[in-house]
Structure formats: C-alpha cells, structure tokens
C-alpha cells in the first residue's frame, strides 16, 4: 500500500531555533556614541513590551496561536486548548521568557517539553482519526510520558478522560503538582509506571499519544487501542525518528509514516 505524502505542517520539526545573543553590559555600552534624545526615546518605545501583555494574559497565548495557525495548524479544538493552557506554568522559572516561543525546553532528568507546533500537530492528527471526527472529541486517551504535565493539560478539554504515565518519579511528582488545579473535577489519572506497558486497567483507549520514541511500537499500546481508535507516536528508524500514525480499522491495524521528528528515547522500567 502506498504511503500518503507527509503533511506540509510543521516544517523542520527536528530543528531547534537559535536565539540571538543578548548584548553584553559593561564598558562596551559606555563607549557607544550618544544618540539624539528623540531617537533614543523612540528606540526605547519600540523595545518595551506591549502594555498588558504579560505571561498571565490571554493575548500572549493568542499571538502564539496566530503563529501556529499561520504555519498550517487549523484544528480549532486544539488551537483553543493551546490558547487556554498557560505553558509558562509548566517550565522552570529561568525559562519562562521562552515559554511561548516555538521551541522545546528542558524540564530536568534529560527530558523536554515539546515545541507547541509539534504538540499541536500530534493532537490534530489524533482529531483526524475516524472515531474522533464522529464524536467531536478524543474519547478516552492514554498519554505515554507525562513529563511536566503540559500536554495532559491540553488533552483534558479535548477528551472524555485521560490516563497519563510517567516512568521518572521526580517528573511524575512535578506533573502532579503542576496539574493540581486542572485535576479538580476532571477525568485525569496520573500513573507512575512503565509507559511501554501502557495501562491495561483502563483500556481500551480511543486515542494514544507518546512523547518518546523507540525502535518499534510496543505491543501493549497496539493491544490497548480501541476499534476505531488512533495512535500517534515517534518511532526510531535508521535515518532518525519518524512520526507514525496507527488506525485500528475494521480490517485491522493500518500504519502511516509521516515526517521526521526528534523526541527523547523510549525506555522501559521506572526510575
């Protein structure tokens, strides 16, 4: 069976955007020639952040969503979740200024919070599954790799229940703290365990999404995918990781391989 051409969005997922170096303070600053006062005031006005657009403002998240929409993300439920969930609350304080840039950020223990474009793309792929289109939501979701909890927070308004597994206990505890406000009145279960085993007690799942890639999809994930359900996960290939979509159809499991991605390796066990 011919594989469908990979989608145009997002482009260059495996590239990390570089940030220009900030100018150094000190003697170099003092040696610059003085500018006319009017020019200096105009420059200062251009550099100042817009009034009322702090990180706690919905406007700053809307600007991120506008950039993602311009880049090709058009799944409205996903865009609405991205506009609502405050990403800066899920990263370390030193990284807060970068929270709404389209970049992955470290969250400790060699793990990362994925780019908003990558998260949005994967969630939109889940929504393109047959059963999700029929229901208008993702149904019961299994998330492999809770990390800091950001993607779980995005999943809650999109699903009818979320089970999220994390194998690293410090991250499991961090996610529990980060998600405390979201867990009230929601169907969210955080599990400390081996994600490669899935979570059989709550199976089957209408949607499965993974934030780590191994050489193959674990058999437990495929066994726990409900009929009509969809799985989205990275898989390691010889030339690097590729994003894979698996649909559980009436004819069996149908797999598509999409474009290159870069996630942390999938590991078994707990730590």
Tell me: the pLDDT tens digits for 216-238? 999 999 999 999 999 999 999 98
Q: So what's the pLDDT on residue 56?
A: 64
Residue 42 lies in a domain: no
Residue 28 lies in a domain: no
Mean pLDDT of all residues in the chain?
Answer: 83
Q: Is 67 helix (H, G, I), strand (E, B) or coil?
A: helix
pLDDT tens figures, 66-95: 999 999 999 999 999 999 999 999 999 999
pTM assigned to the model: 0.80
HSE (side-chain half, CA atoms, 13 Å) at 161? 9
Q: Is 164 a catalytic residue?
A: no
Residue 120 lies in a domain: yes
CATH of the domain at 159: 3.40.50.150
Q: Is 269 helix (H, G, I), strand (E, B) or coil?
A: coil
Strands 240-249 and 252-260, by their bridges, are antiparallel
Q: So what's the pLDDT on residue 30?
A: 27
Does the structure show a pLDDT above 60 at 35? no
Residues 85 and 80: their CA atoms lie apart, in Å, by: 9
Count: domains in the chain: 1
**DSSP-assigned letter for residue 214:** B
Residue 186 lies in a domain: yes
Alpha carbon distances (Å) from 79 to 4, 56, 73, 124: 25, 18, 8, 9
Catalytic residue selected from 114, 117, 124, 131: 114
Angle (CA) 220-167-170 rounded to 5° is: 165
Range of the domain at 196: 57-265
Q: So what's the pLDDT on residue 130?
A: 86
Residue 7 lies in a domain: no
Residue 46 lies in a domain: no
Does the structure show a pLDDT above 70 at 45? no
Q: So what's the pLDDT on residue 53?
A: 41
pLDDT tens figures, 130-160: 889 889 999 999 999 999 999 999 999 999 9
Does the structure show a pLDDT above 70 at 1? no
Residues 38 and 163: their CA atoms lie apart, in Å, by: 58
Residue 78 lies in a domain: yes
């Amino acid at each position: 069976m011919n594989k469908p051409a990979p989608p145009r969005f997002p482009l260059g997922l495996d590239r990390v955007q570089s940030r220009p170096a900030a100018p150094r303070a000190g003697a170099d600053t003092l040696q610059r020639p003085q500018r006319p006062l009017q020019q200096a005031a105009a420059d200062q006005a251009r550099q100042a952040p817009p009034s009322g657009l702090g990180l706690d403002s919905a406007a700053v998240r809307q600007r991120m969503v506008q950039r993602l929409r311009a880049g090709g993300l058009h799944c409205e439920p996903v865009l609405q979740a991205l506009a609502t969930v405050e990403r800066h609350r899920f990263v370390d304080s030193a990284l807060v200024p970068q929270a709404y840039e389209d970049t992955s950020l470290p969250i400790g223990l060699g793990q990362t919070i994925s780019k908003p474009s990558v998260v949005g793309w994967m969630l939109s792929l889940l929504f393109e599954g047959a059963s999700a289109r029929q229901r208008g939501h993702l149904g019961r979701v299994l998330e492999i790799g809770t990390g800091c909890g950001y993607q779980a927070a995005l999943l809650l308004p999109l699903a009818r229940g979320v089970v999220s597994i994390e194998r690293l206990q410090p991250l499991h505890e961090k996610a529990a703290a980060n998600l405390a406000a979201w867990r009230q009145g929601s169907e969210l279960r955080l599990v400390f365990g081996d994600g490669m085993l899935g979570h059989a007690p709550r199976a089957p799942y209408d949607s499965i999404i993974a934030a780590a890639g191994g050489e193959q999809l674990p058999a437990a994930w495929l066994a726990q995918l409900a009929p009509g359900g969809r799985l989205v996960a990275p898989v390691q290939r010889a030339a690097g990781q590729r994003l894979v979509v698996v649909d559980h159809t009436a004819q069996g499991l149908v797999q598509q391989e999409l474009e290159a991605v870069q996630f942390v390796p999938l590991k078994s066990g707990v730590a």
